[in-house]
Amino acid sequence: MAIQKTAAIVLRRQDVRETSLALTFFTRDFGKIKGLLRGVRGSRAESWGLGALEILSCDDIVFYEPKKSDVSTVSQCDLKEFFGHIRGSLDRLAYAAYIAELLDSVTVLYDPNKDAFDLLLYSLRLMDGQSSPKRVARIFEIKLLHLLGLMPTLEFCATCGSKIGESAKFSVRHGGLICKNCLNSDPSARPMMAGTIKFIEYIRKSPFEKLERVKVAEAVGKELEIALRNFLDYHIERRLKTLDFLKEIEK
């Protein structure tokens, strides 16, 4: 088995037997991997540095690539970033857990995507600072959809390809805006403000490093949240557990 080293962010963790732990990592060089760590919950637990094994921690890991299964054996896990400000705020922790679960839900094992790793890392760093965690979550959603080739069509009609006019509406079913001539194809399509469309396009085109202080009008933010949630629910076809947690803390 080949020995590999890479930066990794913990997406999920699960106890295995009495002393072992199964972690799902998103790595910079190998994409998502499943890792088995032996002896981390027994007498040798302290030697691992337990902060590195917490969800959302960014680590340097050493692992053995599997030959006959999809589970790698992790032999070393050293903490790089713990994101203490996130862990000290229920609001920030909820949104951070959400973006981690979202990335987990739309990626497969051993499919390298350095841009997705950087997106998650940059987003966690923003949430660990002073940025609004809700706004960071919206940025993450838009950037992730773009990376995965799932970005809603906004410039041209998602059904006929004609240039979008003022009467266009947003169709979750068709994956973007549809023109007035195609509205009958989806009665559930809803209007979308020009400000929301411009905000989505601005986020999509701008480098992440320039988005730390981006502002969004309250009305645009609310419409954007609903539109992206409906779009993701429709195309992911999996209910994220963290959404229920977010609803509870936002009451």
Q: Tell me where in the chain the CATH 1.20.1440.120 domain(s) lie.
A: 85-251
Q: Is the pLDDT of residue 182 over 60?
A: yes
φ, ψ at 46 (rounded to 5°)? -65, -25
Measured in residues, the chain has a length of 251
Percent of the chain having pLDDT more than 70?
96
Q: Is the pLDDT of residue 184 over 60?
A: yes
Residue-level pLDDT at 47: 57
Strand residues in the chain grouped as ranges (E): 3-16, 20-27, 31-37, 58-64, 71-81, 169-171, 176-178, 190-191
φ, ψ at 217 (rounded to 5°)? -65, 150
Residue-level pLDDT at 80: 96
> Across residues 149-176, what is the average pLDDT?
94
Give residue 70's identity as a one-letter amino acid code. Answer: D
> Across residues 161-184, what is the average pLDDT?
94
Q: Is the pLDDT of residue 72 over 90?
A: yes
Residue-level pLDDT at 81: 96
Q: Is the pLDDT of residue 76 over 70?
A: yes
Q: Tell me where in the chain the CATH 2.40.50.140 domain(s) lie.
A: 1-82
**Distance in angstroms (rounded) separating the CA atoms of residues 12 and 162:** 43
- Assign domain 1-82 to its CATH superfamily: Nucleic acid-binding proteins (2.40.50.140)
Average pLDDT over the chain reads: 92
Q: Which of residues 237 and 232 earns the better pLDDT score? A: 232
pTM for this model (two decimals): 0.93
Residue-level pLDDT at 189: 97
Q: At 1, is the pLDDT very low, low, confident or very high (cuts 50, 70, 90)?
A: low
Residue-level pLDDT at 20: 87
Q: Is the pLDDT of residue 44 over 60?
A: no
Q: Is the pLDDT of residue 38 over 60?
A: yes
Q: Which of residues 123 and 67 earns the better pLDDT score? A: 123
Q: Is the pLDDT of residue 22 over 80?
A: yes
In the 8-state DSSP scheme, what is residue 50?
A: G
Q: At 8, is the pLDDT very low, low, confident or very high (cuts 50, 70, 90)?
A: very high
Residue-level pLDDT at 248: 87
Contact (CB, 8 A) for 188 and 161: no
Domain 85-251: assigned CATH number: 1.20.1440.120
